[in-house]
C-alpha cells in the first residue's frame, strides 16, 4: 500500500494543459517560500505552518491525560464551539470512528456531541433533554468566550451541569480551550478552576485542528492523536518549499485549482465516496471558503457525498452550467471487507456481482462517474487516501492547510483573515439591542 496520500490531475489536462500548470511552478514555489519566510499577507497567523513538527511529547501526554479523565467520568462529552472550533475535531472523529458505535451500550469511550454551532432552540432543548440523568462533561472552545452561539450554549449547559453535580464537581468536568491571557472564557476558567488549554494567538480557528481545539476532543473519542500528528509532520516535510514542484502535491493542487478558476471554473465540488468523510468536507469548505472568498474573488466551495448525491445533484453536475470542477477524495482500501452473496432467486439481478466486494462496486461507480463527468465538461482532480487511519487523516489535514495558504497567495488575497464574517454579527447585535450597539439599533430599525 502506498504510504502517502497522492494527487492526480490527469483528468484536468484536457481543460487546462500541463504546460499551463507547469508554467506556474515558480509562482507556487514563491508563494510557498513567502509563507515560510513570513513576508506575505496575514503573516501574524502562520502558527499552523510548523505546528506538527513542534508539538512536544509533554504536550501530547497532557492532552491524553485530560482525555482519559473525561473518558473515565463521562458518558457524554459536549464539544462547544463553532466554525474551526468544532469542525476539525468533528471531521476527524467522524472519519475514524465506527458509524454506529454511539448506539452501543458497552461503549468504551463517551458519546461525543456538539453544541454552540447553531442557535437552534429545538436543538439545544433536545440536547439538554438527552443529557438529563447522564454523566457528562464539557469542552468549551472559544478564543474570546463571547461569540454568541457557543457562549449561549455554554451558559445553558454549565448551569445544567452545576445543577446536576454541584459547582465543586462541575469544575472537574469542564475544560476551557481559549486565549492565553484575556477574554471572558479565560477569566471564567481562572476563577472557577477549570483545566485550561491555550489557542495560540498566531493560529486562526480554521487552521486549529492540530492544537488542543482539535486534539483534545479527538483524544476523548479514543483516537490516536500521536499518529495524527505524525502524519501531519510527514506532510509538513513533503510540502516544504525545497521539495520540487513535481513532487510537491500542495503546490500542484494550489496551481491546478487556480488555473481552472482562471479558465471559468468558479465552483469546486469536493466529492467523496465514503460517507465517513462528510464532515471532513464541511471542514474543507470553511478552510477554503473563509480563506479565499475576498475582494470579490475566490472559488465557491461545495461538497457532495457520492454515490448518495448522484441521485440528487448528479443531473446538475452532469449537465448544468459548466462552471464547476470536482476534487474527489478516494479511499483506496476500506477498513472492512463485505462480499456480495449469492441469492438463488436473483430477483434484484445482482448475482453477476456474487463474491465481489461492496467496495469493488463502489470503485466502479467512482470510475464511471469520473468518466461521465469529464465527458460532460467537468474536470476532475483526484486525491487518493490509502486508508482511513489517523496517520493518513493527519497527512490530509496538513496537505489541505498548506495548499490553502499557497492558493490564497496565488489568488492575491490574505488567506488568514475573515473581515466579511463580522457583517452579520454587527447586524445581529444591533437587532438584539446589545449594549454598545444603540446607534446601530436605531439605524437598522429604519431599514426594516
Which residues, listed in sequence order, are joined to residue 270 by a DSSP beta bridge?
303, 327
The three cell numbers locating residue 437: 450597539
Sign of CA dihedral 292, 33, 37, 214: positive
User: Are the beta carbons of 328 and 272 closer than 8 angstroms?
Assistant: yes
Give the residue carrying C-alpha cell 484536457: 14
- Annotated catalytic residue, options 236, 290, 326, 390: 290
Q: Can 125 be counted among the known catalytic residues?
A: no
SS3 76: strand
Sign of CA dihedral 200, 185, 139, 420: negative
- Annotated catalytic residue, options 65, 134, 354, 425: 425
User: Are the beta carbons of 332 and 387 closer than 8 angstroms?
Assistant: yes
Which residues, listed in sequence order, are joined to residue 304 by a DSSP beta bridge?
271
Q: Can 64 be counted among the known catalytic residues?
A: no
The three cell numbers locating residue 176: 476551557
DSSP-derived secondary structure letter, 101: G
Residues 6 or more apart in contact with residue 303 via CB below 8 angstroms? 269, 270, 271, 272, 278, 281, 282, 284, 285
| CA nearest neighbour of 396 among 94, 5, 2, 1 | 5
- Alpha-carbon distance of 250 to 28, in angstroms, equals 9
- Alpha-carbon distance of 57 to 35, in angstroms, equals 26
Instruction: Please calculate the CA angle 216-217-221 and round it to the nearest 5 degrees.
Output: 115
- Alpha-carbon distance of 5 to 55, in angstroms, equals 22
Q: Which residue intervals of 263-389 are DSSP H helices?
A: 278-292, 314-319, 358-375
- Annotated catalytic residue, options 108, 132, 191, 311: 311
Residues 21/26/30/31 CA torsion (nearest 10 deg): 0
How far apart, in Å, are the Cα atoms of 108 and each of 225, 298, 375? 17, 44, 48
Q: Taking the CA of residue 84 as centre, how many other CA atoms within 13 Å lie in the half-sphere pointing to its CB?
A: 24
Give the residue numbers marked as catalytic.
290, 311, 425
Amino acid at each position: 500500500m502506498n504510504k502517502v496520500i497522492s494527487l492526480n490531475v490527469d483528468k484536468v489536462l484536457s481543460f487546462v494543459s500541463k504546460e499551463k500548470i507547469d508554467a506556474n511552478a515558480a509562482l507556487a514555489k514563491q508563494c510557498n517560500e513567502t509563507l515560510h519566510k513570513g513576508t506575505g499577507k496575514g503573516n501574524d497567523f502562520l502558527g499552523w505552518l510548523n505546528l506538527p513538527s513542534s508539538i512536544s511529547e509533554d504536550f501530547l501526554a497532557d492532552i491524553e491525560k485530560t482525555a482519559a479523565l473525561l473518558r473515565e467520568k463521562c458518558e457524554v462529552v459536549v464539544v462547544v464551539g463553532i466554525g474551526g472550533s468544532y469542525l476539525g475535531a468533528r471531521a476527524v472523529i467522524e472519519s475514524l470512528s465506527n458509524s454506529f458505535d454511539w448506539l452501543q451500550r458497552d461503549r468504551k469511550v463517551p458519546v461525543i456531541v456538539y453544541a454552540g454551532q447553531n442557535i437552534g432552540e429545538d436543538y439545544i432543548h433536545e440536547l439538554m433533554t438527552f443529557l438529563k440523568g447522564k454523566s457528562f462533561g464539557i469542552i468549551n472552545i472559544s478564543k474570546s468566550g463571547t461569540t454568541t452561539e457557543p457562549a449561549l450554549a455554554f451558559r445553558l449547559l454549565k448551569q445544567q451541569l452545576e445543577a446536576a453535580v454541584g459547582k465543586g464537581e462541575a469544575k472537574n468536568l469542564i475544560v476551557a480551550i481559549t486565549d492565553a491571557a484575556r477574554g471572558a472564557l479565560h477569566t471564567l476558567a481562572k476563577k472557577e478552576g477549570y483545566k485550561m488549554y491555550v489557542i495560540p494567538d498566531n493560529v486562526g480557528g480554521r487552521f486549529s485542528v492540530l492544537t488542543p481545539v482539535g486534539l483534545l476532543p479527538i483524544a476523548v473519542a479514543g483516537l490516536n492523536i500521536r499518529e495524527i500528528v505524525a502524519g501531519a509532520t510527514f506532510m509538513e516535510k513533503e510540502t516544504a518549499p525545497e521539495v520540487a514542484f513535481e513532487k510537491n502535491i500542495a503546490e500542484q493542487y494550489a496551481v491546478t485549482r487556480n488555473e481552472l478558476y482562471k479558465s471559468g471554473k468558479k465552483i469546486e465540488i469536493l466529492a467523496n465516496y465514503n460517507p465517513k468523510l462528510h464532515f471532513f468536507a464541511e471542514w474543507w469548505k470553511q478552510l477554503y471558503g473563509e480563506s479565499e472568498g475576498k475582494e470579490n474573488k475566490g472559488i465557491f466551495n461545495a461538497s457532495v457525498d457520492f454515490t448518495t448525491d448522484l441521485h440528487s445533484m448528479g443531473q446538475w453536475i452532469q449537465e448544468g452550467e459548466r462552471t464547476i470542477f470536482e476534487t474527489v477524495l478516494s479511499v483506496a482500501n476500506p477498513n472492512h471487507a463485505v462480499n456480495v452473496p449469492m441469492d438463488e432467486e436473483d430477483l434484484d439481478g445482482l448475482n453477476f456481482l456474487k463474491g465481489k466486494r461492496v467496495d469493488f462496486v463502489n470503485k466502479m461507480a467512482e470510475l464511471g462517474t469520473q468518466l461521465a463527468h469529464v465527458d460532460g465538461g467537468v474536470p476532475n482532480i483526484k486525491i487518493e487516501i490509502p486508508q482511513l487511519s489517523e496517520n493518513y487523516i493527519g497527512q490530509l489535514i496538513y496537505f489541505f492547510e498548506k495548499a490553502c495558504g499557497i492558493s490564497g497567495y496565488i489568488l492575491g488575497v490574505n488567506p488568514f483573515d475573515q473581515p466579511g464574517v463580522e457583517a452579520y454579527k454587527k447586524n445581529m447585535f444591533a437587532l438584539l439591542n446589545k449594549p454598545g450597539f444603540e446607534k446601530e439599533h436605531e439605524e437598522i430599525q429604519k431599514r426594516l
